[in-house]
Amino acid sequence: MSTTSEHRERLRALIAGNEHLTLATTGPAGQPWASSVFFAHDQEQALYWVSAKNARHSENVVANPRVGIVIYETGAQTDAVYIEAEASELNHPDEVAAAIKVMQSRPQPKRWTIKSVADVTGAAVWRIYRAVPKELSLRQEATEGGQAVARRLHIDV
């Protein structure tokens, strides 16, 4: 099935219209871990977040960069985008500086504001992470055997 411009627009709207995502990582022994994080995105739909470097999900990303992400909203109808991505901790000063600009595109409470590259590198507790999508899907409702089911519609980007 080919992806329509309507599907791509819905995907972009879900990402742009939400500030939190659910990040699924796996630990060294394969144990699952899910975390909710505030995020920002760039024009290529790469997702950025800031977390403590010793947070369980941060340590998991360093050990295994393959992550699952869900961004969703509920209301009269649930809508969601599902993302399989490669995540990484950003360490190069140029990448970190660019990521800070992306993070600043969404206002946050003052206590979470990144003031400089030093806030997310070196001895600092925080780090910036980036997830680059490899597979994107949208939630799509269907009927099976007379009952409602949710399916994933793969989106070509």
Specify the pLDDT at position 3.
65
Residue 9's Cβ-count burial label (10 Å; 0-12, 13-18, 19+) is exposed
pLDDT over threshold 70, residue 126: yes
Domain coordinates in residue numbering, the chain: 5-155
pLDDT over threshold 60, residue 152: yes
For 52-67, what is the mean pLDDT? 97
Fold classification of 5-155 is: Pnp Oxidase; Chain A (2.30.110)
Q: Read off the tokens for 71.
A: 């961004």
* 61-79 pLDDT per residue, tens: 999 999 999 999 987 778 9
Specify the pLDDT at position 143.
92
* 14-25 pLDDT per residue, tens: 999 999 999 999
Q: Report the distance separating Cα 67 and Cα 87, nearest Å.
A: 7
pLDDT over threshold 80, residue 131: yes
- What mean pLDDT is reported for the chain? 93
Residues 6+ apart with CB under 8 A from 135: 83, 84, 154
Percent of the residues in the chain that have a pLDDT greater than 90, as a whole number = 83
Residues 92, 110, 39: CA angle, nearest 5 degrees: 55
* 75-121 pLDDT per residue, tens: 777 899 999 999 999 999 999 999 999 999 998 888 888 999 999 99
pLDDT over threshold 60, residue 2: no
